[in-house]
Amino acid sequence: MIDHKTLEPKIVDTVAKLNQLYGAAPEVAVVLGSGWAGAVSHVEEAQHLPYTELSAFPQPKVEGHVNEIVVGKIGSQRVVMLRGRAHTYESGDCTGMAGALRSLARWGVKLVLQTNASGSLRPHMPPGSLMLISDHINAPQRSPLIGEPGSSRFCDMSAAYDLELRSHAKALAKERNQILGEGVYCWAVGPQFETPAEIRMFAAWGADAVGMSTVPETILARHAGLRVMGLALMTNMAAGLSDEALTHALTLQQAQVSGERAAGFLAALVASFATLPSLQA
C-alpha cells in the first residue's frame, strides 16, 4: 500500500529536480526491460541521471538492469528512458514504480512505452519475436491502487493499451518489414518461473506471453492519466513448451541475442511519435 504522506514530498522534490535539470518534460517515457537497453545508444544529446538523485524513484537490484534515467532525443522526438524498474518479486510490494510514474505524469510526460522480456505461449512467436501488447491478464489479482482514496481508484482498464498508438506501431512495423505480433500479456509475480500446468491455464485464459512485470506499472500509469503502450521481447518458450530448463541466465542470453533488433525498432517507434498530433498537442 502506498504511503502518501512519505511519497508525496518525494514526488514534489523529484519533479522540481527534473524541471531544474531538463526543463519541460518530453512527451514520451520508455521503461527499458531486459534486452532493450540498446535503445539508449540511439538517444542523441543524452543526459544520464542515476535513480539515487531522484527521491521518488525505486532502487531495484536485479541482474541486467541499470538504475538511471536518460533524457535526450531520438530524431526530433524528446524522450526520457528509465533503465531499471522495481519488480513485485523483489519485496512483495506491487507499488514500487508509483513514485517514478507519478513524477513523470506530474512533470508533463504523456505516454509511457513499456518494454519487457517475456516467455512465449504461442509457437508462431518463438524466441526473438516482438509482440505488441494489446491487453493484459493480472493473474495474481494484485493492485497497486489498494488503499487509494476517492473514486479515482476505480480506474478504467478497458483500453489500457492505447489503440491509436498500437495502430501506429503496426503501421510502422509494416513499413519497416518488421514482424510484429500482437497479443495478451499475462503477469505472474515470480520470482520462480511458471509450471507447465500454469502455462496451460494461462493459454486457456487467452494469454500469448507471460512475464513478471509491466501490469502494475500499467495500472499506475493509467491511474495517473498517462497513455500506455507495451512491447514484449520473447526470450524463451514458456514452461512445458520446449525442452529447455528456464533460468534467468537463459532469459538474459536470449535478450542479448535479439536485443539489437528490438532496440532498433523501439528507437524508430519513438522517433515516429513526433508525427502524431495527439502526442504533440
Percent of the chain with pLDDT over 70: 91
pLDDT of residue 233: 95
- The per-residue pLDDT for 241 is 72
For residue 250, what pLDDT band results from cuts at 50, 70 and 90?
low
Given a cut of 90, whether residue 230 has pLDDT beyond it is: yes
- Please give the pLDDT value at position 24: 96
pLDDT greater than 70 at residue 254: no
* Full domain range(s) for residue 26: 4-276
pLDDT at 41: 95
Residue 254: give its domain's CATH number: 3.40.50.1580
Q: Does pLDDT of 248 surpass 90?
A: no
pTM for the model stands at 0.93
- Give domain status of residue 140, yes or no: yes
Mean pLDDT of the chain: 92
How many structural domains are present in the chain? 1
pLDDT band at 240 (very low <50, low <70, confident <90, very high): low
Grid cell at residue 178: 518488421
pLDDT for 2 equals 84
Is 196 part of a structural domain of the chain?
A: yes
Active site residues: 34, 65, 87, 89-90, 117, 212-213, 236, 248
| pLDDT reported for residue 246 | 59
Strand partners, 48: 70
Calpha distance 37→46 (Å, rounded) = 14
Residue 125, in any domain of the structure: yes
- Tens of pLDDT, residues 66-97: 799 999 999 999 999 999 899 999 899 999 99
Where do runs of H (alpha helix) occur along 28-162? 88-91, 98-107
Q: Which residues contact 52 (CB under 8 A, 6 or more apart)?
A: 59, 67
List % helix, strand, coil for the chain (3-state, nearest 5): 40, 25, 40
pLDDT score at 245: 62
Place of cell 498500437: 166
Upstream peptide bond of 191 is cis (omega within 30 degrees of 0)? yes
- Cβ neighbours around 171 below 10 Å, total: 11
Which pLDDT score is estimated for 34? 85
Instruction: Single out the residue of 129, 111, 112 nearest to residue 121, CA to CA.
Output: 129
Q: Which of 34-43, 235-244, 252-261 has the highest mean predicted lDDT (pLDDT)?
A: 34-43
The verdict on residue 281 lying in a domain is no
Q: What is the pLDDT of residues 29-71, one digit of tens each?
A: 999 998 899 999 999 999 999 999 999 999 756 554 579 999 9
pLDDT band per the 50, 70, 90 thresholds, residue 270 = very high
* pLDDT band, very low/low/confident/very high, at 103 (cuts 50, 70, 90): very high
Q: What is the pLDDT of residues 124-135, one digit of tens each?
A: 999 999 999 999
Residue 262 backbone class (left: φ over 0; alpha: ψ -120 to 50; beta: rest)? alpha
CA atoms within 13 A on the CB side of 83: 22
Would you give the distance in Å from CA 49 to the centre of its chain? 19
Q: How far apart are CA 234 and CA 227, in angstroms?
A: 23
Three-state secondary structure call for residue 204: helix
When mean pLDDT is compared across 1-5, 44-48, 57-61, 269-273, the lowest value belongs to 57-61
